[in-house]
Structure 1
Amino acid sequence: MAKFTSDIEIARAARKKPIQEIGARLGIAAEDLVPYGHDKAKVSAGFIARQQDKKNGKLILVTAINPTPAGEGKTTTTVGLGDGLNRIGKKAMICIREASLGPNFGMKGGAAGGGMAQVVPMDEMNLHFTGDFHAITSAHNLLSAMIDNHIYWGNELEIDSRRVVWRRVMDMNDRALRDIVVNLGGVANGFPRQTGFDITVASEVMAILCLARDLKDLQARLGAIVVAYRRDKSPVYCRDIKADGAMTVLLKDAMQPNLVQTLENNPAFVHGGPFANIAHGCNSVVATTTALKLADYVVTEAGFGADLGAEKFFDIKCRKAGLKPDAAVIVATVRAMKMNGGVKKDDLGTENIEAVRKGCANLGRHVQNVKKFGVPVVVAINHFVSDTEAEIQAVKDYVATLGTEAVLCKHWAQGSAGIEDLAHKVVELAESGHAQFAPLYPDSMKLLEKIETIATEIYHAGEVVAEKSIRDQLRQWEEQGYGELPICMAKTQYSFSTDPNLRGAPTDHTVQIREVRLSAGAGFVVVITGEIMTMPGLPKTPSSEKIRLNDQGEIEGLF
């Protein structure tokens, strides 16, 4: 591997097998694959429907500590663990999300793993891939256009144009579009109103696609989207606008999971991509439930740290899809422990055992939180060459005090050979029968109480503050029949609190609710806190400045 300098160079040198061969390993015949070139394909809806009576495999969640600039490698560990399970003789699959163009051209980089633990084709996965995000964007904006068109042609539904809650989306970071006015230019262009754009991965259509069981369920959920309110505050639905059928047509192919492979030619579904700090942050239910019928072990990930990704995976995805995880892996790095312990990024290469011990509080909080859901936990220490034996041992010793084991993993450099120990431990946990999964709160709990439960139990907040208008809105939704919906917290990924600069394991902080949004089609209530934006902006020096084609026509600078 020494001759390669970047993840994309490693991916470019991969010896990929024809996607039909990867499908055959899972029992998917060539006629049940819809190929997109030679190395990726969609799995037909007919094949998926025929798998429903099969027994489920074991479901393994990979989550992480709060992300830091030091890097954690959650997706890399997800891919590595899938390869590792196959290496030790288990039939395993990987299920991850698709990448959003916005962050790829902003600052986050790709979402296909790294080093020798990647899913390929990495460059296409981080760009247009099979067009799923474009289909979601088009379906979302079709509904936007039909709402304004309905108002223009007489407004039979008596929509209050001041209360249109359906915004527009695009899959790019563009802060200039957060708040805009549309329909300017006179009578011919409609009635002016204030609106804005969100990023596609924050769209309710994205969330719906990732939670829908099939096309029939998809259309029903799309129809249930609340798009606006009348003057009497009664809701207007997508089905009232008569957009649900056409939107389903646009999403027909996007509903089918994408089959690709790892560097070691093991199968992976890459499908869906809701943001974890804005939306529920999990790959599609269709991909996960199908994988569970095709493999003995399914390794999937939840976005960002366990306070966001894992909580939403358990309380939203598993609750809605009837999934029961058998084990969870929490990814951490020595470097991140040092950052949480107060070490600056430039000093991370210097041994500092005391900072490691201090920073472990963040990891410990996540371990304890995941255990609250009744899921057995193991910690994966994603190895960096700068880690010292003493620092690694400090993490292991700390985790042992929690009644949990930390396993050193070297999959980035060694692929599956570097993660065998974790694979064996995951099998041990999954086969132990100790998993007794249960969501954090019952459906019947009041919406505000659900918010307070997440804030106090997971974030360890001292209080939740909400204006009277927000409390009234939550009560009104309960009266309209939405009280049993789960909560989707939109919160910074960098801290347990709503302050991104508050690292470690803070307690007794305040969670300020800024806004609540009803996602009736997806089936959850979005609670926006802190400075979270549903349309991100580009950084001062975006990644896009370095992305280009070289003389051979190959992509450079993409992760």
Structure 2
Amino acid sequence: MTTIQDFTTQYGLVGKIDAFGYLDWLKANPEAPRKHGKVVLVTADTPLKASRGEGKTTTTIALIDALNKRGIDAAAVLRQPSMGITAAGSKGGASGGGKASLTHPEIIDWGLTGEMAAIAAAQNLLVSFAEKAVDEGRIDTVLVPRVSEVPSRSLRSIAVDYGKGNVAEKVVLTPTSELMQIVCLSRSMDEIGRRVAAMIAGTKDGKPVTFGEFVDLWRITGILGDAVKPAVTETVNGSPVYVHGGPFANVSIGIPTLVSVEMACALHDVVIVEAGYGADAGAQKWLDIAAREFGAQWPAAAIVVTRASTWRDDPELAWRYPFHVQRLENFDIPTFPLVNLWEGEDDQVEALRATAKELEFRDPIIGNLFRDGGDALAPQLDGFVAALDSAQSAPQFHSRKGMNLLEKVRWIAQNAYGVPSERVLLKPGFTDSLAEAAALCKGVGVSLDDLAVVAVKSPATMTDNDRAPEGERTVTLKKVEVHAGAGLVHVNLTTSLTTPMPKIV
């Protein structure tokens, strides 16, 4: 009998799964045994510092270990971390820690499952084709950036002398690239090919030119042959984990690939999906991009992770955590607060529970997950499991395709950041950037309003100044960037960098 093992090959110390092939086989064989797993979204509070995570991956790993300990078939889908920032020490890696860790964290942290390098090679090859197109007079402006896994301040703004004057180019981190977004959102190699063809290489006399007009796309899809296959590994306690997709929900979509989640849902009863940074970024993009625009499964429940210090020690920012929890509850997603304790904070548990009760949260889940792993969570999951058991089929939430771009951004500001539309401000130059983006879209036969919005923002703030009184908080729109192949449009909100530097550790 055909099983998932027939679609799995060994890739070093991990397995690689042909998820496209497996899902196609399931469609062709509707009688084949499969599950219809419920998706749980693990997201987080907005951290006090951009360089410190709240513990989403550690929580995700501990949670599936705890569920499996209770006899529930659970798996996790994680995003491949960025070697140059996450694994270099700024956030301590992205494969959990202590008793809530993967068996081979170094394989994940250092990009040795292969997709980051392949996606970087493919996008950089596209840029090389664009540069050659300048030489041949096909385009005169290169719009697609090179990518790198190791950031460099000097690469943030560069220009190349082609003998016809300098042509501006730029470099961004691999996870933020359009090609990474295409891999995350596509459900077949044919779709990847179509989307790469629709990427805008540059302009000629002000008119956009796509890669499909001058590149044989097999060169790109061939490089991605292994990159489109999710890696499969496990926790130190034997729970299954699939790793696929890109981080950085602050400057990209920050979600695992849709095919990895769909595949996991066919194999397991509960699938924990990790979203980037906070509920204002990763969760917002899972709901508004993955689910609303690309048909991903709506969560049956959510976990919002925080640190005790982040939640309670800064009164001016204390509004953010309850805002995140209530926002997800407003979408009828049962949402559970989880406090990931540091060493020495066990004496705060009762006070934390009292605060949660005052805020009318569901029963909070609290534990030192690095030290205790899933053992800390298993006794606390009665309410969570009950919510999963009672969850109905996912509601249908309509797409906002066709809604005016500014209206979509104002909706995000209101719902994800708590800032009403009248306090969404336009920085000088934004209107020109918007007009240029609309012209690019028109030139390739796409409506700007049909693209899903990627809010590009600081990971440590939700507004221009989170310490301002509620009635004075604003969000300033800065510029617009079209990713036509991915079907996305980036709108820069607060200070952010697509090539941030790692912290020295």
Give the structure 1 partner of residue 489 of structure 2. 525
The structure-2 alpha-carbon separation of the partners of 1:296 and 1:407, relative to structure 1 and needing over 3 Å to count, comes to same
CA displacement, residues 203-239 of structure 1 (integer Å, 9 cap, x when unaligned): 00011111111211111111111222232x4321121
Choose which of 404, 429, 433 in structure 2 pairs with 1:470: 433
Describe the SS at the equivalent of 1:62.
strand
Choose which of 44, 56, 61 in structure 2 pairs with 1:74: 56
Choose which of 456, 460, 481 in structure 1 pairs with 2:418: 460
* 8 Å Cα contact 2:114-2:226 kept in structure 1: no
Describe the SS at the equivalent of 1:169.
strand
Give the structure 2 partner of residue 107 of structure 1. 90
Mapped to 1, the partners of 2:356 and 2:210 lie a distance apart of 52
Code of the residue aligned with 1:178 in structure 2: it is R
* 8 Å Cα contact 1:365-1:505 kept in structure 2: no
Give the structure 1 partner of residue 384 of structure 2. 426
Code of the residue aligned with 2:81 in structure 1: it is A
Give the structure 1 partner of residue 309 of structure 2. 335
Mapped to 2, the partners of 1:478 and 1:240 lie a distance apart of 16
The structure-2 alpha-carbon separation of the partners of 1:361 and 1:99, relative to structure 1 and needing over 3 Å to count, comes to same
Give the structure 2 partner of residue 514 of structure 1. 478
Give the structure 2 partner of residue 166 of structure 1. 144
Describe the SS at the equivalent of 2:319.
helix
CA displacement, residues 247-266 of structure 1 (integer Å, 9 cap, x when unaligned): 11111110011001101011
Q: What are the within-5 Å matches in structure 2 for residues 9-20 of structure 1?
A: none
Displacement of 1:483: 1.3
Code of the residue aligned with 2:75 in structure 1: it is M
Give the structure 1 partner of residue 22 of structure 2. 47
Q: Does 1:534 align with 2:498?
A: yes
Displacement of 1:194: 1.5
Q: What are the within-5 Å matches in structure 2 for residues 129-208 of structure 1?
A: 129-155=112-138, 159=139, 161=140, 163-183=141-161, 186=163, 192-208=166-182
CA displacement, residues 19-64 of structure 1 (integer Å, 9 cap, x when unaligned): xxxxx9x9532x4321123x31101243343234444211000011
The structure-2 alpha-carbon separation of the partners of 1:214 and 1:329, relative to structure 1 and needing over 3 Å to count, comes to same
TM-score by length of 2: 0.90
Code of the residue aligned with 2:424 in structure 1: it is V
Give the structure 2 partner of residue 281 of structure 1. 254
Displacement of 1:455: 1.0
Q: Does 1:489 align with 2:455?
A: yes
Describe the SS at the equivalent of 1:102.
coil
The structure-2 alpha-carbon separation of the partners of 1:537 and 1:413, relative to structure 1 and needing over 3 Å to count, comes to closer
Mapped to 2, the partners of 1:340 and 1:427 lie a distance apart of 32
Answer with 279-288 or 426-435: which moved more: 426-435
Give the structure 2 partner of residue 6 of structure 1. none
RMSD of the alignment, in Å?
2.5
* 8 Å Cα contact 1:362-1:505 kept in structure 2: no
Describe the SS at the equivalent of 1:194.
strand
Mapped to 1, the partners of 2:120 and 2:225 lie a distance apart of 14
* 8 Å Cα contact 2:297-2:394 kept in structure 1: no
Give the structure 1 partner of residue 4 of structure 2. 28
TM-score by length of 1: 0.81
Mapped to 2, the partners of 1:436 and 1:125 lie a distance apart of 31
Give the structure 2 partner of residue 365 of structure 1. 323
Give the structure 1 partner of residue 77 of structure 2. 95
The percentage of aligned residue pairs carrying the same residue is 29
Give the structure 2 partner of residue 351 of structure 1. none
CA displacement, residues 297-332 of structure 1 (integer Å, 9 cap, x when unaligned): 001110001001100011111220332211111112
* 8 Å Cα contact 1:396-1:407 kept in structure 2: no
Displacement of 1:510: 2.1
The structure-2 alpha-carbon separation of the partners of 1:399 and 1:276, relative to structure 1 and needing over 3 Å to count, comes to farther
Displacement of 1:84: 0.9
Choose which of 198, 213, 222 in structure 2 pairs with 1:249: 222
Give the structure 2 partner of residue 85 of structure 1. 67
* 8 Å Cα contact 1:276-1:309 kept in structure 2: yes
Gaps of 5+ in 1: 1-23, 343-358, 544-559
Aligned length: 487
Describe the SS at the equivalent of 1:201.
helix
Mapped to 2, the partners of 1:221 and 1:137 lie a distance apart of 16
Choose which of 415, 419, 429 in structure 1 pairs with 2:373: 415
Displacement of 1:438: 5.8
Gaps of 5+ in 2: none
Code of the residue aligned with 1:486 in structure 2: it is A
Describe the SS at the equivalent of 1:120.
coil
The structure-2 alpha-carbon separation of the partners of 1:504 and 1:313, relative to structure 1 and needing over 3 Å to count, comes to farther
The structure-2 alpha-carbon separation of the partners of 1:67 and 1:149, relative to structure 1 and needing over 3 Å to count, comes to same
Answer with 437-446 or 238-247: which moved more: 437-446
Answer with 403-412 or 365-374: which moved more: 403-412
The structure-2 alpha-carbon separation of the partners of 1:96 and 1:392, relative to structure 1 and needing over 3 Å to count, comes to farther
Displacement of 1:109: 2.5
Displacement of 1:201: 1.1
CA displacement, residues 360-396 of structure 1 (integer Å, 9 cap, x when unaligned): 4221010122123331111112233322545543445
Give the structure 2 partner of residue 20 of structure 1. none
CA displacement, residues 70-95 of structure 1 (integer Å, 9 cap, x when unaligned): 75211100111111111100111110
